Structures are given as structure tokens and as C-alpha cells.
Amino acid sequence: MPRTGSDAKDALICTRVTPNIKDIIEQQASREGLTPSEWIRNLIIKELKNENLLQMVFKTPRIREEK
């Protein structure tokens, strides 16, 4: 899917976790074929959607009518 200007991931949030939590995150991410960053991002997005703080937007491609 092509990115638009609003899709840019240029904001950074940092946090510290214990080595045990880091290992668990890396294992879970690996199981899903994701990087730890992608896995954590998905977890945050899921929680925001569950709390109705982030809209669920489904974009569908526009189909041009043939003349």
C-alpha cells in the first residue's frame, strides 16, 4: 500500500524494559515474523482501537469507470 504524508512514521517513543520482557517481546515478534518494533507498534494500535481512541479506517481503491 503506498504511503501518504499522514502515514509517515517519524515520531519516536522510547521506553525501558527488563531483560526478561525484552526477551519475551523478541520471541513473540519472531513467532509472528515481525521486528520487535513492529510487534510493539501493532500492540499499541490494537489497544488504542479497543479503547476507541483510534479510528478503524478501511481504505479501498477507487475504481475508474471505463467509458
Q: How many domains does the chain have?
A: 1
Asked whether residue 52 is domain-assigned, the answer is yes
The boundaries of the domain holding residue 28 are 15-60
Q: 8 in a domain, yes or no?
A: no
65 falls within a domain: no
What is the pLDDT, as a whole number, of residue 29? 97
Does residue 6 belong to any structural domain of this protein?
no
Residue that wins the pLDDT comparison between 54 and 2: 54
Tell me if 46 is assigned to some domain. Answer: yes
pLDDT in tens, 18-64: 999 999 999 999 999 999 999 999 999 999 999 988 876 666 667 77
What cell does 55 get? Answer: 479510528
Q: What is the dihedral of CA 39, 45, 50, 52, to 10 degrees?
A: 180
Q: Report yes or no on whether pTM surpasses 0.85.
A: no
5 falls within a domain: no
The verdict on residue 53 lying in a domain is yes
